[in-house]
Amino acid sequence: MTPIRQEDLIGSVADALQFISYYHPLDYIRALGEAHAREESPAARDAMAQILYNSRLCAEGHRPICQDTGMVVAFLEVGMEVSWADATLSLQAMVDEGVRRAYNHPDNRLRASMVAPPYGERRNTRDNTPAVVHVSLVPGDKVHVKLAAKGGGSENKSKFTILNPSDSLVDWVVKTVPLMGAGWCPPGMLGIGIGGSAEKAMLLAKEALMEEIDIHELKARGPRTALEELRLELYDQVNALGIGAQGLGGLTTVLDVKIKDFPTHAASLPVAMIPNCAATRHVEFTLDGSGPAELTPPRLEDWPDVVWQADDKALRVNLDEMTRETIAQWQPGDRLLLTGKLLTGRDAAHKRLTDLLTRGEALPEGVDLTNRFIYYVGPVDPVRDEVVGPAGPTTATRMDKFTEQMLAETGLIGMVGKAERGPVAIEAIKKHGAVYLMAVGGAAYLVAKAIKGSRLVAFEDLGMEAIREFDVVDMPVTVAVDSRGGSVHQTGPAEWRVKIGAMKA
Ligand code: SF4
């Protein structure tokens, strides 16, 4: 029997979670670098440049790639000849202790995003525990651990169906991916699980996302199995949808499609699909009884030589002098650099604000939204001399149901978030002559560099969801919905789908 020390597992989990918070996997960075070089859509290319540059800054600065530092998912393969001689904790508790240490690391505090219970009070557990832990017993005398920190934006887009055995799986994927919008921060990967039972298919899809990106090698050598053929077909067909980076329209939506399968019932064809986002974060290590795992840091020279700089053609905008007349001149796709005061607020703050409005009560002191913009963000806490930690945008569609009331009753004229807006929000934006701007999801550290001041304004108890006032200088955003209701997330993919079709023809 190989004795594995409890502390070796806990310490390895903690180190690995810190590691993946600031180092993208190299296969992802290489694939994104190649996609950036190939990309012909200027908006998508700019978004990819931001993600790549952000990635390098995070690797250098050891700060999180994204403000959503993820829910921890762990797959543990435990050898049957392993003993846990000094263990006082369960495997779940050991992993949780590793999560606790990693997320509270004083030099690189990560954002705690887990809430419990999930229905009802939803209180933040403050240390990002518990992790979602899957354990399997396998032959051997080692413990192999696969760890991921999965962002909520991409996890929320997970899909599942049970097809008839004669149905086309490709048709289902191609029909379903556009319904996912851009809240999963493409370009990323699709993990697909085929077969088993409902829960087995979901697990297969999640585990598939832990594999390396190698679609170009597969293309070069040609498929040898039906599943490899399927991967190539899905990769081509999904990219032909023209969704592009951040849903702006472009050549690359997915960098790879990974598939795992399992035998299933003769009556069923379960299919699960889980996307991985621009903040793809996963790592593997093995414990063999000789001590904690040692992870080799990647070399910065391996990052593509992409430096993002504010575009000369971008319009400089003073947020402190905004009027409806000014914003009415902006067109979908215009690139802006924002300077001035920007209030923050996301799900919980919107709920509280709209509850106050509904009851006819005053908004908290300092929350005056007249002619102001609100930024949908939940930043990471600052460390050292930082004003704020990584502070990228969160998915705007979650705020859609509050938008009409916010625009009608507070004087708010603009919102900043990520990905598309739904029909209800677009209608409200049009009705009130407001605008919606998008920042790049997965470029949170780069965005934070534009934030020069941060002041708590209201709802301190909400933690990362509290309302703050940021002082920003040249914060890069794109007009995603203009005051007439024109949406770049509708026009961009439609335009690029046609272009890609023409290229193929
Ligand atoms: S890249 Fe987008 S989906 Fe991924 S964790 Fe960040 S905000 Fe969430």
Contact 415, 437 (CB under 8 A): yes
pLDDT of residue 400: 98
C-alpha 346 to ligand 1 mean position (Å): 15
C-alpha 186 to ligand 1 mean position (Å): 9
Is the domain of 76 the same as that of 2? yes
With tokens 């009884």, the residue in question is 289
Domain annotation covers residue 498: no
CATH code where residue 187 lies:
3.30.1330
C-alpha 22 to ligand 1 mean position (Å): 14
CATH code where residue 383 lies:
3.20.130.10
Number of H helices, E strands in the chain: 15, 19
Domain annotation covers residue 461: yes
C-alpha 153 to ligand 1 mean position (Å): 5
With tokens 């969801």, the residue in question is 465
Is the domain of 132 the same as that of 184? no
2: enclosing H helix or E strand: strand 2-3
Contact 191, 206 (CB under 8 A): yes
CA 197-230-224 angle, 5° bins: 110
Is the domain of 355 the same as that of 301? no
278 lines ligand 1 (CB under 6 A): yes
Atom of ligand 1 nearest to the CA of 278: 1
Is the domain of 49 the same as that of 167? no
CA 181-185-188 angle, 5° bins: 105
d(CA 295, CA 25): 12
Task: Encode 398-414: b = buried (16+ Cβ within 10 Å), e = exposed.
Answer: bbbebbbbbbeebebbb
C-alpha 151 to ligand 1 mean position (Å): 5
Pick the residue whose CA is nearest to atom 5 on ligand 1: 151
Q: What spatial distance separates the first Cα and last Cα of the chain, rounded to whole Å?
A: 61
pLDDT of residue 59: 96
Is the domain of 240 the same as that of 386? no
Which residue type, as a one-letter code, is found at position 276?
N
334 lines ligand 1 (CB under 6 A): no
**Which of 66, 72, 281, 395 to mutate for ligand 1's pocket (most ligand atoms within 8 Å of CB)?**
66
64 lines ligand 1 (CB under 6 A): no
Is the domain of 257 the same as that of 405? no
Contact 446, 389 (CB under 8 A): no
C-alpha 79 to ligand 1 mean position (Å): 34
pLDDT of residue 283: 98
Separation in Å, CA 13 to CA 84, 127, 131, 394, 453: 16, 14, 11, 27, 34
d(CA 53, CA 85): 46
Omega before 297 within 30 of 0, i.e. cis = no
Is the domain of 410 the same as that of 479? yes
Query: What single-letter DSSP state applies at residue 395?
Result: B
Is the domain of 343 the same as that of 466? yes
Domain annotation covers residue 496: no
Q: What is the CA radius of gyration of the chain?
A: 23
Atom of ligand 1 nearest to the CA of 155: 3
Q: Which residues contact 314 (CB under 8 A, 6 or more apart)?
A: 335, 336, 337, 476
288: enclosing H helix or E strand: none
209 lines ligand 1 (CB under 6 A): no
145 lines ligand 1 (CB under 6 A): no
Domain annotation covers residue 119: yes
149 lines ligand 1 (CB under 6 A): no
Task: Encode 319-354: b = buried (16+ Cβ within 10 Å), e = exposed.
Answer: beebeeeebeebebbbbbbbbbebbbbbbbbbbbbb
Burial category of 262 from C-beta neighbours within 10 Å (exposed 0-12, middle 13-18, buried 19 and up): middle
Atom of ligand 1 nearest to the CA of 69: 5
List beta partners, residue 285: 145
Pick the residue whose CA is nearest to atom 3 on ligand 1: 153
Is the domain of 207 the same as that of 139? no
Atom of ligand 1 nearest to the CA of 68: 5
Pick the residue whose CA is nearest to atom 7 on ligand 1: 441
C-alpha 478 to ligand 1 mean position (Å): 18
151 lines ligand 1 (CB under 6 A): yes
153 lines ligand 1 (CB under 6 A): yes
DSSP states of 125-188 = -SS-PPPEEEEEEESSS-EEEEEEEE-HHHHTT-EEEEE-TTS-HHHHHHHHGGGGTTTT-SSE
List beta partners, residue 135: 76
Omega before 186 within 30 of 0, i.e. cis = no
Domain annotation covers residue 96: yes
Helix or strand or coil: residue 259?
A: strand
Query: How many domains is the chain partitioned into structurally?
Result: 3
Pick the residue whose CA is nearest to atom 1 on ligand 1: 442
10-residue mean pLDDT series, the chain (505 residues) = 96 98 96 97 95 96 96 98 95 98 96 96 95 98 98 97 98 98 96 98 98 97 98 98 97 98 98 97 97 95 92 92 96 95 97 98 96 97 93 96 98 97 97 97 94 97 94 96 97 96 92
d(CA 173, CA 230): 11
Atom of ligand 1 nearest to the CA of 65: 6
Domain annotation covers residue 497: no
Separation in Å, CA 169 to CA 139, 176, 234, 252: 34, 11, 9, 21
C-alpha 417 to ligand 1 mean position (Å): 12
**Which of 277, 280, 394, 397 to mutate for ligand 1's pocket (most ligand atoms within 8 Å of CB)?**
277
332 lines ligand 1 (CB under 6 A): no
d(CA 186, CA 137): 35
66 lines ligand 1 (CB under 6 A): yes
**Which of 73, 110, 154, 416 to mutate for ligand 1's pocket (most ligand atoms within 8 Å of CB)?**
154
Domain annotation covers residue 160: yes
Is the domain of 332 the same as that of 479? yes
Helix or strand or coil: residue 69?
A: coil
Q: Which domain holds residue 469?
A: 315-491
C-alpha 239 to ligand 1 mean position (Å): 20
DSSP states of 26-56 = HHHHHHHHHHHHH---HHHHHHHHHHHHHHH
Domain annotation covers residue 135: yes
DSSP states of 357-373 = HHTTPPPPTT---TT-E
Contact 133, 95 (CB under 8 A): yes
Q: Are strands 269-276 and 282-287 parallel, antiparallel or unpaired?
A: unpaired
Mutual orientation of helices 400-410 and 347-358 as an angle, nearest 10°? 50
431: enclosing H helix or E strand: helix 423-432
Is the domain of 9 the same as that of 147? yes
Is the domain of 266 the same as that of 356? no
467 lines ligand 1 (CB under 6 A): no
184 lines ligand 1 (CB under 6 A): yes
